[in-house]
Structure 1
């Protein structure tokens, strides 16, 4: 009986680890409108961590371009992008995931960076400085950080 319980526990841990394998940036499946239906990390997002990613200059720094009233303690919020107040009412989880991962799939010509992309960049740097990075580049955010940002955005209701 005890061996069966241990075996079941190990099997459950292995299954959980398999679910936690992140989708690689080049393997992400976007729908026709740029939404991503399934989690990139296989794990639920953490809204508290998402708030940190959005407000940290070293991570997502979303407030550099967007105003978010729930982040009123973060100074110098941007006005380039739309206000994210009510984002959880305007977009569903799959749409938010797609927009955060690569907004250009939803909004052609947007200035928003692609946070979960590793190649396909327009890189004029070599023509000017010779110092442009070579692809594939690391994504700006991890799969889990994308899920965390989405979890936080879903809390922003009107």
Structure 2
């Protein structure tokens, strides 16, 4: 019985990943909004705060000031994210995190859920161009987690 429960749990976990929207298949609205979850699962605001403040993940604080996070050296390049959930809805925030250039064509913000169409991707420290499709900077679930976190910033 215990092995059956473990098997069911593994199938459920793999089913969540099977529902991820491929980065090339994301349906953006006219102004860049993404209405549907990219992972098929709700975001976790606590995990999103971790992504936003971790250098090897989203590292939102490198460019944005987020008072809710206890992170040193917060950025001033992008707009402050305090109150962002009062300015944007969930679909708009999902689109901005996934690929901000659709909403703001001149932004320097990276597309966190994109795998093709790059201008100058590098292949680590080899000096050679990367081969597309490249893995997105964040997973579908990490995008959902960041959006859940941003929705707490009112």
Q: Taking structure 1 as the reference length, what is the TM-score of the superposition?
A: 0.84
Q: Secondary structure at the match of 2:151?
A: helix
Alignment partners' CA distance in 1, 2:143 and 2:24: 15
Q: Secondary structure at the match of 1:69?
A: coil
- Which residue pairs with 2:50 in the alignment? 52
Q: How does 1:128-147 map to 2 (within 5 A)?
A: 130-147=127-144
- Which residue pairs with 2:91 in the alignment? 94
Q: Displacement, 1:144?
A: 0.2
Runs (5+) with no aligned partner, structure 1:
1-9
Q: Please tell me whether the aligned partners of residues 20 and 42 of structure 1 are also in contact (alpha carbons under 8 angstroms).
A: no
Q: Displacement, 1:125?
A: 5.6
Q: Taking structure 2 as the reference length, what is the TM-score of the superposition?
A: 0.86
Q: Residue 24 of structure 1 is aligned with which of 22, 40, 53?
A: 22
Report which of the two structures shows the higher radius of gyration computed on alpha carbons. 1
Two-structure CA RMSD over aligned residues (Å): 2.1
Classify 1:124/1:96 alpha carbon distance in 2 versus 1 (closer, same or farther; 3 Å). Answer: closer
Residue 102 of structure 2 is aligned to residue 105 of structure 1: yes
Alignment partners' CA distance in 2, 1:19 and 1:140: 16
Alignment partners' CA distance in 1, 2:16 and 2:127: 41
Q: Please tell me whether the aligned partners of residues 50 and 152 of structure 1 are also in contact (alpha carbons under 8 angstroms).
A: yes
Q: Displacement, 1:54?
A: 0.1
Q: Please tell me whether the aligned partners of residues 19 and 43 of structure 1 are also in contact (alpha carbons under 8 angstroms).
A: no
The runs of at least 4 consecutive aligned structure 1 residues that moved more than 6 Å come to none
Q: What is the total number of aligned residue pairs between the two structures?
A: 142
- Higher share in helix: 1
Q: Please tell me whether the aligned partners of residues 20 and 43 of structure 1 are also in contact (alpha carbons under 8 angstroms).
A: no
- Which residue pairs with 1:64 in the alignment? 62
Deviation string 1:61-111 (CA, Å, 9 cap, x unpaired) is 00000000001x200000000000001111000000000000000001100
- Which residue pairs with 1:40 in the alignment? 38
Q: Please tell me whether the aligned partners of residues 88 and 156 of structure 1 are also in contact (alpha carbons under 8 angstroms).
A: yes
